Amino acid sequence: MKNIDKKREEREKSLCFKNIAPLRKKLRALPSIKDVKVLLDDVITLESKSVIPEEKVYIEEFAKELKPWRKGPFKLFDTFIDSEWQSQIKYNLISPYFNLKDKKVADIGCNNGYYMFRMLEEKPKKIVGFDPSPLFRTQFDFINHFIKSSIVYEMLGVEDMRDYPEKFDTIFCLGVLYHRSDPVSTLKSLKVALEKDGELFLDTFIIDGEEEIALTPKDRYSKIPNIYFIPTTKALFNWLYRAGFKEIKLLEVKKTDNLEQRKTDWIDGESLENFLDPNDANLTVEGYPAPKRAYIKATV
């Protein structure tokens, strides 16, 4: 058995964990709804005249059991999933910069697939999502049960891209790099997974400044435990050059605000308002500069 198959098999075991297995059982019992109309807009919306009240109740209850919903929003018949993040803001910010027609596309750290569903509108040749989380995979399967797309969801991580048997024309790696303790090596894994002339779309936290440096939080950053490096834009460019990317373009810089990330009924924990200094929204509760992201396009 190849390494990648072993890894896939290993990761898929998490679908049998005791908190996930009951959700997988409920997923298998989802009703089949006829004539579903799919609207791939800011709110990914499913409509059908055939769905009956008992089915709507099952869908709503199951959606609640799949909390926390970080990415969205989705409207599944009568159920509006008001996710913590208004993911259309990020999608609409980067979508003017790409054309996915007939491309092989990978979304690394795809979460529940919100962006991948939006990308279907672009008519790519293929979309593969990578994310090791069994809960987000189950959210994806729930939505895709009705959309019936041919998106492939791999429970593999960015670290597995070197061994992945296929290469991609366009790779999205959004909101993942700051979670890696080895950012240059992570960028190299992305480069290896690109076809010749392939392009990478990346976003990650940055700090302001002209120096070629990175902030390294001792513990948490904005209450997030696994944040390793937050570079200046110049340092981020250097990482990309070191990883072998050639043309690197800064597309946008955006501070996270409470239009984009906020507490809703679809998450149980805290959100942005609790992560920032109550007396100074320019700082995190730990006293670091508040979250700001750079959006980058880089080609090989």
Ligand X SMILES: C[S@@+](CC[C@H](N)C(=O)[O-])C[C@H]1O[C@@H](n2cnc3c(N)ncnc32)[C@H](O)[C@@H]1O
Which residues form the interface with ligand X (CB under 6 A)? 71, 87, 90, 108-109, 111, 130-133, 136, 157-159, 174-176, 179
User: Which 3 state secondary structure label does DSSP give 20?
Assistant: coil
Give the integer Cα–Cα distance in Å for 161 and 198: 14
CB 252 within 8 A of CB 93: yes
- Smallest gap, in angstroms, from Cβ of residue 164 to ligand X? 12
- Smallest gap, in angstroms, from Cβ of residue 251 to ligand X? 14
Whichever of 122 and 159 has its CB closer to ligand X, that residue is 159
- Smallest gap, in angstroms, from Cβ of residue 166 to ligand X? 16
Q: Which residues pair with 253 in a beta bridge?
A: 294
Give the integer Cα–Cα distance in Å for 31 and 10: 29
How far, in whole angstroms, is CA 219 from its chain's centroid? 23
Q: Which burial class, exposed, middle or buried, applies to 109 when counting CB atoms under 10 A from its CB (0-12, 13-18, 19+)?
A: buried
- Smallest gap, in angstroms, from Cβ of residue 237 to ligand X? 20
Whichever of 232 and 261 has its CB closer to ligand X, that residue is 261
Give the integer Cα–Cα distance in Å for 164 and 208: 35
Whichever of 23 and 36 has its CB closer to ligand X, that residue is 23
Whichever of 108 and 235 has its CB closer to ligand X, that residue is 108
Compute CA distances 224 → 133, 220, 272, whole Å.
Answer: 17, 5, 11
Whichever of 86 and 232 has its CB closer to ligand X, that residue is 86
- Smallest gap, in angstroms, from Cβ of residue 48 to ligand X? 28
Q: Which residue is nearest to ligand X (CB)?
A: 157
